Amino acid sequence: MAGIFGTDGVRSRINTGAMRAEFIVRLALAAGEYFITHNKSDNKTARPLVIIGKDTRLSGYMLEAALVSGFTSIGMDCRLTGPIPTAGVAYLTHSLRAELGVMISASHNPHYDNGIKLFGPDGFKLDDNIELEISNLLQGSISLAEPELLGRAKRMIDSVPRYVEFAKATFPSQLGLNSLKIVVDCANGAAYKTAPDTLHELGASVIPIGIEPDGININAQCGATSPEQLTKALKEHSADIGIALDGDADRLILSDEKGGLHDGDSVLAALALNMSQSSILTGPVTGTVMTNLGLERLLQSHKIPFQRTNVGDRYILEALKRDGGNLGGEPSGHILLPAITRCGDGLIAALKILELVITSEKPLSEILRLFEPVPQKLVNLSNVDKSVLQQDDVISQVTKIERELGKKGRLLLRPSGTEPLIRIMVEAEDPDLVDKIINDVTAILSSIR
């Protein structure tokens, strides 16, 4: 990814790097300049519009104000949604015919990080070439609007109900969730209103947790990255299903009636088989290099094409668009259904699984236990300079390990695109071998610190 953008927009610790107010003003100017110049609207006299949403981080107020300053000073009107899932921004950008959508969120990261995700008029995340052009515009001079042409900013009072109605419309109208008791953990994040409201209005008995955001507690021992509270609440309330979302609700983890946890691979498997049986699956199912080999084998056994991309939902979406696919996802819980949503949407992915529960009359534990995962372990190394992965001695030692592993498994070593981490993933039939390789690689990288 060229320029300032990573695998999912711009992200950093607040008040450092790209997450300083003055930089965000500049980013808004550059993005505004690009979309004003490339405005494809038939009404060239209408003032260009940008939708700005955010999660519940305290720093969201600061970044929101900086974005408004930049966009209005270049002549764009702003509509501020307040806390809403990332998918809600994508939906509103397209439905309101805006030139640009902006989500202020660092997704599953802690509160002290924040980020900016940009969406084009079609509601999809920006292509690499557009991000590169915006990065280049950041370096130059940008003309500001004349005083009488400044943009205006207004708060949208109906952003949450608009998105809730959209989400409800993706669930078959002849079905209802009246028979289900559902725990939903909203991670004290962007979906703290939308997820419980949607499930309740569809008829479920809802036990919401993680719905008391204070600006600091987003993703803190809750949500998709820490599902322990979900399983605890599920057992206490004897619920049928648990749904855990992350800070901006673009990913999910599910808990079945027995307290068993299921990641994005399990969700992807259930949706793929159902869509194939219903003859609505198009193109290959798309996963990433992190997708468990067990899922790939399951799809092969059902003669369902499968392909892998680099980590990141943007790369999955690019592959789906290229090959005409309509289903992809990551183990982390990003599920992409481009015929329905324009980016990962944890709530709508959950609704698709709930639809299977209702129509099949089977418990979630049976619906999601479709394959035996190949033993896999992921370790995150912090406080490591990512550049060590480019050092000749590290490359040589890792290559030797890969040769020894051969066809017995997979080793993936990569820098995180959203956090200051190096990720080590090892997958093999022999769990002892997995542990050995994890330890060997960790020791190599730790010795270079």
Catalytic pick among 59, 69, 105, 107: 107
Q: Dihedral of the CA atoms 283, 335, 356, 161 (nearest 10)?
A: -120
Tell me the two tokens of residue 70: 């930049």
Phi, psi of 98 (to 5 degrees): -80, 160
Q: Would the CA dihedral through 439, 440, 441, 442 be positive or negative?
A: positive
Is residue 416 flagged as an active site residue?
no
Amino acid at residue number 408 = K
Chain-centre distance of CA 340, in angstroms?
A: 15
Burial of 447 (0-12, 13-18, 19+ CB in 10 A): exposed
Q: How many CB atoms lie within 10 A of CB 426?
A: 25
**Distance separating alpha carbons of residues 411 and 428, to the nearest angstrom:** 9
Distance CA(296)–CA(372), nearest Å, equals 11
328 CB-side CA count, 13 A: 35
Q: Which residues are catalytic?
A: 107
